[in-house]
Amino acid sequence: MTLRGRLTAAFLAVVLGPVLLGAFFVGSTMSAVDRSRSTERLGLAATAVRTSVDALCQQLRAAADAVALVADPAARPGAAAQVVGRGLAAAVRITDTAGRTSYATPGGPTEPWQDCSGTSAAGPVGALAARVQLRDPTGADLGTVAAAQPVDPAFVARLAAVTGVAVTLLDDPAGPVRVAHTTENRQVREAVLAAAGRADGDRVTETDDGRYVRRVGPVEGQPLPLVLSVPGERPPALYAALVGAVVLAALLAVLAAGRLARVTTRPLVELAGAVDRVTHGDLTARVPVRSRDEIGRLALAFNRMTRETGSYVTALTSSRDQLRGHLAVLGDTLASTHDLQRILRVILDSAIAATGARAGAVLLLDGDGLLVGQCVEGLAGRWPTGDRNDPGTLRVPVGAGVVGAVAATGEPQRGRCDAGATPTGEPSCETYIAVPFATPGTADPGGRGGPERPGHPPAGDGAPAGGALGVLVLYDRLGGDEFDDDDLVTLRTFAGHAAVAVENVRVHEEAQRLSLTDPLTGLWNYRYLRESIRREVERANRFGRMLSVLALDLDRFKDVNDTWGHAAGDAVLVEFARRVRGEIREVDLAFRHGGEEFVVLLPETDARGATIVADRLGAVVRDSPVPVDGHGGEPVPVAVTVSIGIAVYPDHAASGQQVLDAADDALYAAKAAGRDCCRLAQVPDRAPTQELPVVAAAVSPADGLPRAGTTDAAGAGPGGASSGPHPPRQSRGR
């Protein structure tokens, strides 16, 4: 067989075989999946039906028990009427031991009433009933009490809504299949009844139009003869579509195989000959391009490869110059983000691409006088450390090695390393180039020195020169050549961008911090309080926790200012904030609300825990007077006390602002009670409700943390707090 024939046969076998298997698999799988899903759905629906009927029977038994438990015979009709009025049953009937009806509520459903505890009787069912024995206090049998609910179209519709499938109630389970009530439409009703006649037990049958049918009951505990049906999900005309797809695929495969065999064989021979010539050193070999398919593109690529191999070195050199021309655009990009790691990664990758280096790193100076590798590329396993795969181990002391010397002197360095001369802690390499970078205005080219900047050690022994922030270093230029002066100029440019980016990030972080903190006490300010209370309330609501809020106010603080001056008042506020920080947990938040008012948020803390914290804060303020500068210049101890209001979400409020207001009101109460004390907010009044006694079990949370959302009076908000309007705020004396 020729190459063309083999290609055609192979292509048809490869294409048509999976197509046929796929079509068969799709058809059989979709049918099986459709039946499995429908069977599962009907099984869930059958379980839901049994559960619903059982729940209804339990409700009816409870209603009958409620009437039977009435000891006074004269009060039983009233109890029966109350049960019907509350919707627990549609009718109640009381019979004596002889079976005679002694009382029946008016308007009851038609007979017969099917007992919940038995199986279905012959004939249509008018109602579902539960019966209990009626006994006197001595235990003698007085008859029965029956509570019934009608089995009508509305009952069947409710079952269909609960199960999500169509429900049909049969007229007589023992006789021919006839419909009493159904939710099926007329078009499919006959087919469903025919399939129901063939079904037995829990077996699922299928109708001719693709619906699945299952009978449920009558059995003990579910005495109603029901039929459940659900439409299948299999697409119509599935097999016809699969056959059409297979035929179309076969035609296309034959045409494609013939075309592929014709255009493939001849170019392959020509390409093989050209390859042989190239292997012998003839780069002038060319392949005729006879088509534009894969073979044709291969021929074009081969010709282009042999023609342009000599120009690749020139293209690489020019690409470096083009990259330099885009540095301005790179600077704008770096200035548009405050993600320091992303900025350093962009700078390092651009520097490596511009210089043709194999690896590199950006090191920043930390507070211990060490240069720490913040961003590295290509250095894994290239320096002697305990963990060869951890880039974070790149640490170089200022003044040690090449990188440390660059940071200490402020002068860039480049050169070649001798074998075995790599400084300890630095990556092993053959060539290197390192450039320092500093924030604008800190460099001192003239060597005269300059003002010291906060956060930067002064120049001197072991300190970086010119306020350097770090070093940008590259290793091993590809091709084995050393880095030249052009690379040094390029790297200086990238180092300048790195310095500006690092400074911008630091300025941005400092501005963010100052916008959220109080400049005097260092605590969070009112702006951050509003954001934090909203976040903590959402977290408490989501996880069912409690959130306690302490509103603190220094007592008679105006007297401190009037007596010792505002500078002394500021000293008292600063010392008070320090003591508050020392008495709360790391997860707690302290804020200066304004003036001498403070707020503390205690996540996952109930009223008891908040009271303990408040007592501790009151004691730490009360027991140690605050020394301030007196009028004579000598320190004077000033006794300070604090009043504290406590509110708990969700016990006292339903929102962040409301719990702040509740804590503020409790603070007012503490002021009114004589100051130097704490008071818990009042629980809002709840609307009176009438509760039915229900047996319940209390289970403590496994984690032991206080839980919110306890059931309480109707109309209460989260955690039992009233959802009504918050009481008006009142002014309080300080």
Report the half-sphere exposure of 71 (CA within 13 A, side-chain side): 3
In a domain, 46, yes or no: yes
Residues 681 and 533 in one domain: yes
Residues 385 and 303 in one domain: no
Residues 374 and 273 in one domain: no
Residue pair 227/168 in contact by the 8 Å Cβ criterion: yes
The domain tally of the chain equals 4
In a domain, 239, yes or no: no
| Domain harbouring 462, CATH code | 3.30.450.40
Residue pair 682/663 in contact by the 8 Å Cβ criterion: no
pLDDT of residue 456: 40
Residues 78 and 27 in one domain: yes
DSSP structural state of residue 336: T
Indicate if the pLDDT at residue 65 is higher than 50: yes
Question: Which tokens is 482 given?
Answer: 């050393």
Indicate if the pLDDT at residue 507 is higher than 50: yes
Q: What is the pLDDT of residues 661-704, one digit of tens each?
A: 999 999 999 999 999 999 999 987 655 544 444 333 334 445 54
In a domain, 550, yes or no: yes
State the Cα–Cα distance between residues 21 and 309, nearest whole angstrom.
47
Band (pLDDT 50/70/90 cuts) for residue 290 is: confident
Residues 309 and 370 in one domain: no
Q: Which residue among 511, 544, 566 closes a domain? A: 511
Phi then psi for 232, rounded to 5 degrees?
-70, 160
In a domain, 516, yes or no: no
Band (pLDDT 50/70/90 cuts) for residue 122 is: low
Crossing angle of helices 238-279 and 294-308, in 10° steps, is: 30
Q: Which residue among 511, 538, 554 closes a domain? A: 511
Distance of CA 575 to the CA centre of its chain: 41
| Domain harbouring 573, CATH code | 3.30.70.270
State the Cα–Cα distance between residues 12 and 254, nearest whole angstrom.
7
Question: Which tokens is 286 given?
Answer: 């060319």
Q: What is the pLDDT of residues 265-274, one digit of tens each?
A: 777 777 888 8
Angle at 350 between CA 349 and CA 356, to 5 degrees: 85
Indicate if the pLDDT at residue 444 is higher than 50: no
What is the C-alpha end-to-end distance of the chain, expressed in Å?
A: 107
In a domain, 729, yes or no: no
Distances from the Cα of 19 to the Cα of 32, 238, 511, angstroms? 20, 15, 65
State the Cα–Cα distance between residues 56 and 455, nearest whole angstrom.
75
Residues 503 and 530 in one domain: no
Residues 531 and 617 in one domain: yes
Residues 570 and 503 in one domain: no
In a domain, 492, yes or no: yes
Q: Which residue among 267, 291, 314 closes a domain? A: 314
Residues 458 and 493 in one domain: yes
Does pTM surpass 0.85?
no
- What is the 3-state secondary structure of 669-720? HHHHCCCCCEEECCCCCCCCCCCCCCCCCCCCCCCCCCCCCCCCCCCECHHH
pLDDT of residue 389: 47
In a domain, 65, yes or no: yes
DSSP E strand stretches across 465-528: 468-477
Residues, the chain: 734
In a domain, 237, yes or no: no
pLDDT of residue 600: 97
Question: Which residue, among 79, 206, 197, 237, has the nearest Cα to 147 in the 3D structure?
Answer: 79
Please spell the DSSP secondary structure of 179-215, one letter per residue: EEEE-S-HHHHHHHHHHHHH--TT--EE-TTSEEEEE
Q: Which domain holds residue 661?
A: 526-720
Residues 284 and 405 in one domain: no
Residues 179 and 76 in one domain: yes
Residues 297 and 206 in one domain: no
